[in-house]
Structure 1
Amino acid sequence: MTSHVCYHCGQANDPVHSYQATVLGEPRTLCCPGCQAVATAIVDNGLEDYYRFRTEPAVQGDADLSDVLKTMDVYDDPALQEEFVFEEGKHKQIQLTVEGITCAACGWLIEKQLARVDGIEKVAVNVQARRAMVTWHDDKLSLSHLLSALKRIGYTAIPFQPDQHEASYKKEQKSFLKKLGLAGLMTMQVMMLMAGLYFDLFGSIDEDTRRYFHWVALVLTTPVVLYSGSIFYLGALKALSARTVNMDVPVTLAIFGTYGAGLQATLTESGEVYFESICMFIFLLLLSRFLEHRSRHRAAEISANMTQHIPVSATLLLSDGQLDTCLAKKLNVGDRVLIKPGETVPIDGVISDGTSSVDESMLSGEFVPVRKQPGDKVFGGTVNQAGTLTVTVTSTLKHALVNQIIRLQAEAMASKPRIAQLADRFSRYFVCAVLLISAATFTFWWWQQNEDAFWITIAVLVATCPCALGLATPSALTCAMAKLNRQGILLKRADVLEQLNDIDTVALDKTGTLTVGEFAVSKQWFSDALPVEHILQLAATLESRSEHPIARAFSRHDLAAISEFSVTPGAGIKGNVNGETYFMGARHFCPHSVPHTGFDANVYLFTQQQVLAAFLVTDSLREDAAQTLQYLKSRALILLSGDAQSHVDTLASELPLQQAIGGLSPEQKYQHVQALQQRGQRVMMLGDGINDAPVLASADVSVAVGGATDVAKTAADIVLLGDKLLSLTSLFELASRARRKIIQNMAWAIGYNVLILPFAVSGVLSPWMAVVGMSLSSIIVVSNSTRLLR
């Protein structure tokens, strides 16, 4: 950077006014007060290393920075935050679209800057997507201050919206296609010229014509090197600035070495030129990077595009029976919406009137319509096929299942499994080995006075470039996650696929997991203390506040007013009805001696003084439960249930279970899984209820089945969006296929490099042959990974 150019953004400095800041111990000239303010903020926060690591100039700072910071106060408005801020327990979380990110150093700078801000709990920056996920303490830090902290170091952040992300991806793809198109066009032209020279297709070519062809080829190759290949040079500079190496380093050396030698040969009119090899090298390498770029975004695209299923408007049913059209995002909890046949459901809710068949394929991957009736849940984006439905809104559009999927998928793609980290480390060591071998090759052939020593070295650099090795793992994992997403299986962590292959024990909850969760009272007993109808009303009133599937068995009775309601997970519920406290739950929840009922009851209604009623509530087995467990029987299958042991034994007799334990509290389930893990077993846990949350969180891999409570979905690593347990077979099969693909990709990448190295070092391989071999190797790896999408 010269004194005529801004040290921060690279723009021309103001010839009249002078702005300066001391950066890295030296005075730097800046173009405007905005850049001066940003540079000073970076220095004051001890983040000067940003200027060492960056590979591109930053975006120009805002000259009216103080005015901009004031306008950010609007983001503290709770009504505005309601649309894009999520509650994460004691914290708040937001996804931001960050403008001004140009390279990985920007991501480093943002994470370091926000980590210094008091109140920030967690920051994860996705440089490629230009997004940041921030979790913070709302009582310590306001959202406007969070955004201001980014603005002070030169980045403008706004709440993330899927359509903006899509536009960002298309812009990046457009840049890729421009570079790829230029490289492809010029490659064809240069190869035509060089073919004419090599094979003398134009007859006897004199020296003047040969020199002319060389100059034309040089002119055509130069924009390919400087523009199309810039992505590799920036990557190499970034790695070297961070005192490491990556696969872009040997690529950059090979490109500039070949280009420099060709330029010298053209100027001095002596020596070999390989301009066609440079163009072909850049084109084929860009092509493999482009294919990898598309496959890496596939899972994110699938999730983000789900929002396109949500209609913009909804038909609101007013209290006076009139209909009104409103925006779907303006609907509030408790609003009633009318959905006609053929219309798309605009919001998540519960059917209050009407029956219909609903197509839920966009969520679950199952194309068979699901029959819906009053009390059933419907989700935004699904299609009402027959019958008019009245739906009571249960969550705003921000918290709709579709948006939860997109948010969880973003978190999953931000994580990096162990095998990918291992491949990255191996790639760095491999690159170092390639550089050392190349240097040794040049030294040896130069000592042997071989005039082709330089070109042999170039061939070694190109042929052994570990691009395919770097693509082996991420391309396979991304394609696998996209495939599962289409089948209604949502992964919240990318490394789950890797862990699934090591699972040797599967633990399952009973109610709502192995059974359908459609309960009915098969037997009942009542005391003489109250009329039967009154007892049934009390039971229905208490269960109306419960999320447990068993509550539906009591939903056919009138309700009374209730207050002071509370839940004891895995045990029961209590509430105050007409000034009296009533309890309802399992046998161990009841402190009284149980009266003789003539049957093995599993639900009791009681007060602090006596038992009022006892019920035997039964459930039916899922139709695909036996088939699913038959598939999983190569692993240890254990049933962990809070239900009575007699009921558990009855169910276990129908299934291939190694062990079935009943009467467990949530803590006992947790302790049982912990004991299995301490014995060295890898445990997958399947559950659906609030009481399953602790054990789901403790398992090596946890799965929330279709219809699970929000608490269970939060604790789980995998969410089955459909009602089919057989989805587990697809999950395990795809995890196994993904591992095989990764092994195949890595074996091919390493095997190719090992096999090609002797040919390159010995001088048998010319540079253009090395170009073709290396690029085809990368394309084969990406193509092999995309087979997972079939």
Structure 2
Amino acid sequence: MQSTIDFSHYLKKTGPGLLHLDLAVEGINCAGCMAKIERNLSKIPDVTSARVNLTDRRLALEWKAGAVDPALFVDRLAELGYRAYPFERADAETREAERASALLRRLGVAAFAAMNVMMLSVPVWSGNLSDMLREQRDFFHWLSALIVLPAAAYAAQPFFSSARAALRARNVNMDVPISVGIVLALAMSLFETAMHAEHAYFDAAIMLIAFLLAGRYLDQNMRRRTRAFAGNLAALKAETATKFVSEEEIRTVPVAAIRPGDIVLLRPGERSAVDGNVISGRSEIDQSLITGETLPTTAVAGSAVYAGALVRSGALRVRVSAASEATLLSEISRLLENAVQSRSRYLRLAERASRLYAPLVHATALLTMIGWLIAGATLHDSIVIAIAVLIITCPCALGLAIPAVQTVASGALFGSGVLLNAGDAIERIAEVDRVIFDKTGTLTLPELDVANAGSIPADVFDLAGRLALSSRHPVAAAVARAAGAKAPLPGIAEVPGQGVSGVVDGVDIRLGRPSWCGADEAANQILQNDPEASVVAFRHGLMRHVFAVRQRIRPDAANTVSALQRVGLTVEMLSGDREPAVRAAAETLGIYHWRAEVTPVDKIARIDELARHGHKVLMVGDGLNDAPALAGAHASMSPVTATQLSQSVAHAVFLGERLAPAQAAIAISRQALRLMRQNLWLAVIYNALAVPVAMAGLVTPLIAAAAMSGSSLLVMLNALRARRQREAI
């Protein structure tokens, strides 16, 4: 009886008429495997996207709904030599841990066998110089074979099984020539031992396996570092929430059962499963991994709470604004995964080189052996040299050159509060020579604040805040939030275009336009002193007060702008706001190039103008009107509070209230780009030097194995430098 997989549970809708499926794929070990899988599955009609995540060996597929049976993907992968099944994070982590343990066990067996065989090789090599009897030499060779052959059969299984699967699918990968080299070395050594020859290469074969396993284990550990970031986010996701089913009754329910508008209870020590706003209670909460703010913040009525936030002290009642996959935490996870699945042009270059590797190296080894035979060398010597060529040309260093840097740099960027939204984001951001900022919501914080709160009497502030709760206007909402208002006043009416009004203790009260409240003179005085402010007036009988409401400049914006200018980057500000407000912000931040009242078309025109003059622009903005400019710039960033459209077109998203992540993105990206280029050159120079030396017969298979593993280790160690962010960009 043949069983089939029901994929319906694993399918997700990603857009109008589009379905998404994640598959775990066994046997992916290099950039060549990634390219082969993506190239073949993208050829299936109606498949719109096929992206491999090498970090957790996951294939993300997207296709037109109803056009393709998901089982076709599994069958096609099987034809290519890969086993696939639906991806589930918990199972993937378990399998990955088992794979790492298996590699470590095999490495231990290979290393133990290699040490013993090396001890046996010493008397053989020294005995050849001191007239060792043939019987003694044969004994040591057979003893070496007895140790190495079973050890190699067990330890080399990752390479043998991968090569076998590729050959069954009539393909080749980098494990094919490695397996050929190992088998040839063992077979030749066994033949030489049976023929009583002076030399055998059991030590070289088992050392090669040990070096390869060590390199693969180190590579896997490096990739797990990136998964650790995604794992941290996944660990923050609570599976259940405590929901109020009535005013006094609560019930623990799955997150999937929570809807916007529901009220949930967050108790000390719990993590929030939803996004929402506090309606009552007070607590210290830790939202550092979501918002980038390292210090705990105080949550009171009106405060925003995000999924993953840890409640430290008092209990909170929270009205849900988003749950399950609609939360900010889920959006951050998707951005992080999208960055890893995307491609940079340097990675595409490495993939193309890896695809050419297998046929090229086989041809080179064969021609080397034929050349030495023609030159008069023995068959034994010619095969040994061909084996050395097979081993020394393994493209592990080339395959790791770019992914290793991207993995480490992505982790460093995430630690600095930056999430990549495109595979070539690092390269694009590293190349910019000009930065353009939008003002509202970018250089300023998105939420409005009462700038003159200190000059308003507390009782007036409290009454105005309660009145403001009856208005939907964002300026009134800022007054209510700043006042900490919880209970709206009864009997309040809204006057369209003017504000809200009512009667308290027989006295008329109003909150709205200064002219409606009879406070024009006070409002004009505030606007003269603070042109960035918006004003709302409050009247209580004969008493009048004016609230100055405006967005606050991000706390580190001036320092960030100054740091960018110090390293030669020209900073501009393009804003659709009024000229007085833009001028005041520019003077505060030290931005010398600015324009006010610009339209989205004006922003695009400015970016195009700079591009024609050879400049590469980083556009930093939020809001719907910034989306065209973000898409048209060489590189772009948005705050995590930006509109969904702005986030989708930006190359990167930054967290928290600080602007410093924009500076960190440039610093880390420039360092990463340097390391990518260095790694490519290291891989090219290694092959340029190693291949001719191997073809000349100047290295043994053992030395070739050490050189190949050394080049991979050098590339990985160089990639780790991407973790260190330099003070200067």
Quote the residue 1:42 is aligned against.
Answer: none
TM-score by length of 2: 0.79
Q: 2:638 aligns with which of 699, 704, 711?
A: 704
Distance in 1, matches of 2:76 and 2:695, equals 48
Confirm whether residue 776 of structure 1 aligns to residue 710 of structure 2: yes
Q: Corresponding residue for 1:141?
A: 66
Match of 2:550 in 1: 618
Within the alignment, does 1:691 sit opposite 2:625 as a pair? Answer: yes
Q: Match for 1:649: what amino acid? A: R
Q: CA deviation at 1:472?
A: 1.4
Partner of 2:376: 449
State the partner residue of 1:323.
Answer: 250
Identity %: 30
User: Who is 2:350 aligned against?
Assistant: 423
Q: Distance in 2 between matches of 1:111 and 1:466?
A: 20
| 2:425 corresponding residue in structure 1 | 496
Tell me, yes or no, if structure 1 residue 257 matches structure 2 residue 191. no
- Write out aligned runs for 1:395-406 (5 A): 395-406=322-333
In structure 2, C-alpha distance between the alignment counterparts of 1:147 and 1:490, rounded to whole Å = 30
Using the TM superposition, give the Cα deviation of residue 141 of structure 1 relative to its aligned residue in structure 2, in angstroms: 2.7
Matched, 1:478 2:397: no
Which residue type is aligned with residue 217 of structure 2?
Answer: F
Pairwise mapping of residues 532-681 of structure 1 onto structure 2 (< 5 A)? 540-543=471-474, 599=527, 617-633=549-565, 634-681=568-615
Residue identity opposite 2:564 in structure 1: L
Change in CA separation of 1:698 and 1:459 when aligned onto 2, cut-off 3 Å: same
Structure 2 equivalent of residue 53 of structure 1: none
Aligned to 2:156: 229
Q: Which runs of 5+ in 2 are unaligned?
A: 453-462, 502-522, 537-545, 725-729
Within 5 A, what are the aligned runs for 1:343-492? 343-427=270-354, 438-439=365-366, 441-451=368-378, 452-492=381-421
Tell whether the 8 Å contact from 2:35 to 2:351 is kept in structure 1 after alignment.
Answer: no
Alpha-carbon deviation of 1:263? 2.0
Question: Following TM superposition, by how much is the alpha carbon of 1:100 offset from its aligned partner in structure 2, in angstroms?
Answer: 7.9
Kept in 2, the 8 Å contact 1:111–1:124? The answer is no
Q: How does 1:62-461 map to 2 (within 5 A)?
A: 62=3, 75=9, 88-98=14-24, 116=44, 121-126=48-53, 129=56, 131-137=58-64, 141=66, 146-147=69-70, 149-150=72-73, 160-200=87-127, 206-233=133-160, 247-248=174-175, 250-427=177-354, 438-439=365-366, 441-451=368-378, 452-461=381-390
* Deviation per residue, 1:40-94 (Å, 9 max, x gap): xxxxxxxxxxxxxxxxxxxxxx3xx5xx76xx67x5xxxxxxxx76664535553
Q: Would the aligned equivalents of 1:337 and 1:391 in 2 still touch at CA under 8 Å?
A: yes
Counterpart amino acid of 2:597? G
Cα distance change, pair 469–123 in 1 and its aligned pair in 2 (3 A) = closer
Aligned Cα RMSD in Å? 4.5
The residue type paired with residue 703 of structure 1 is M
1:632 is displaced (CA, Å) by 1.4
Check whether the contact 1:316–1:323 (CA below 8 A) recurs between aligned residues: yes
Residues 241 and 715 from structure 1, CA distance in 2 versus in 1: closer, same or farther, beyond 3 angstroms? same
Partners in 1 of 2:55 and 2:444 — Cα distance? 43
Report the counterpart of residue 657 of structure 2 in structure 1. Answer: 723
Match of 2:543 in 1: none
Structure with greater helix percent: 2
Question: Which of 444, 448, 468 does residue 519 from structure 1 map onto?
Answer: 448
State the alpha-carbon separation in 1 of the partners of residues 498 and 198 from structure 2.
92
- Check 1:759–1:127 CA distance in 2 against 1; reply closer, same or farther (3 A cut): closer
Deviation per residue, 1:674-695 (Å, 9 max, x gap):
4433443222111232332332
Do 1:300 and 1:410's aligned partners in 2 also have CA atoms closer than 8 Å?
no
Shift of residue 510 of structure 1? 0.7
Tell me which amino acid in the other structure corresponds to 1:277.
Answer: A
The number of residue pairs the alignment matches comes to 670
Q: Match for 1:470: what amino acid?
A: G
TM (norm. structure 1) is 0.73
Cα deviation 1:297-325 (Å, max 9, x = unaligned): 42133203422233444333343223333
- 2:55–2:224 CA contact under 8 A, matched in 1: no
Confirm or deny: 8 A CA contact 2:471 2:500 kept in the other structure. no
Letter of the structure 2 residue corresponding to residue 766 of structure 1? T
Contact 2:422/2:651, CA 8 A, preserved across alignment: yes
> Which 10-residue stretch deviates more, 682-691 or 275-284?
682-691
Structure 1 residues 297 and 90, CA gap change in structure 2 (3 angstroms):
same
In structure 2, distance between residues paired with 1:695 and 1:268? 75
Aligned CA distance change for structure 1 residues 576 and 170 (closer, same or farther; 3 Å)? farther
Q: Describe the shift of the 1:664–1:245 C-alpha distance in structure 2 as closer, same or farther (beyond 3 A).
A: same
Structure number with greater CO (CA < 8 Å, separation at least 6) is: 2
3-state DSSP of counterpart to 1:395 = strand
Deviations 1:250-270 (A, max 9, x none): 434432332221121122222
Counterpart amino acid of 1:619? Q
2:261 and 2:319 in contact (8 A); partners too? yes
Distance in 1 (alpha carbons) for counterparts of 2:249 and 2:448: 36
Shift of 1:478: 0.9
